[in-house]
Structures are given as C-alpha cells and as structure tokens.
Amino acid sequence: MTVQPEGKAIRITLRRSVIGRPQNQVDTVKALGLRRIGDSREVSDTPALRGMVRTVQHLLEVEA
C-alpha cells in the first residue's frame, strides 16, 4: 500500500496474538501487513482499510 500525504495515514500496531483466532481474522491481520506482535505499519486511511481494522480492532492499536 502506498502512504498518502500527511493526515491521510494511520499507524497500526499488532498488540495481541492471532493464535486461536478465526481464520478471517488471521487473514485480515496478514493482509494488513502485520506478522508478529509489535509490528507496525503506516497505511492509507481509506474506507476499505477502516473496515479491515474494525474486523480485528481487539488485536490492534491504532494511531491517527
């Protein structure tokens, strides 16, 4: 994913493990580009991405 100009990106960090989670949540975390606890990514702030984040919000930390 490409990072948008300032104010159009959010930083997501994986804070909890995906072990034992439903497959759709494991796949969503992988699609977000997160591999292990503590991994962070700066991603563009789009409606599609927000939906993905909402699916696994209990596993992530999100910063604007």
Rounded CA separation 29/33 (Å): 7
pTM of the entire predicted model: 0.85
CATH, domain range 9-63: 3.30.1390.20
**At 27, is the secondary structure helix, strand, or coil?**
helix
CA distances from 59 to 16, 32, 55 (A): 5, 12, 9
**Alpha-carbon dihedral 12, 18, 21, 26, rounded to 10 degrees:** 70
Q: Where are the domains of the chain?
A: 9-63
pLDDT digits (tens, 9 = 90+) for 43-56: 999 999 999 999 99
Q: What's the pLDDT band for 64 if we cut at 50, 70, 90?
A: confident
- For residue 5, the model assigns a pLDDT of 53
Rounded CA separation 40/14 (Å): 7
pLDDT digits (tens, 9 = 90+) for 1-29: 554 455 589 999 999 999 999 999 999 99
Structure-token match 């992988």, residue found: 30
Examine the pLDDT at 62 and tell me if it is beyond 80: yes
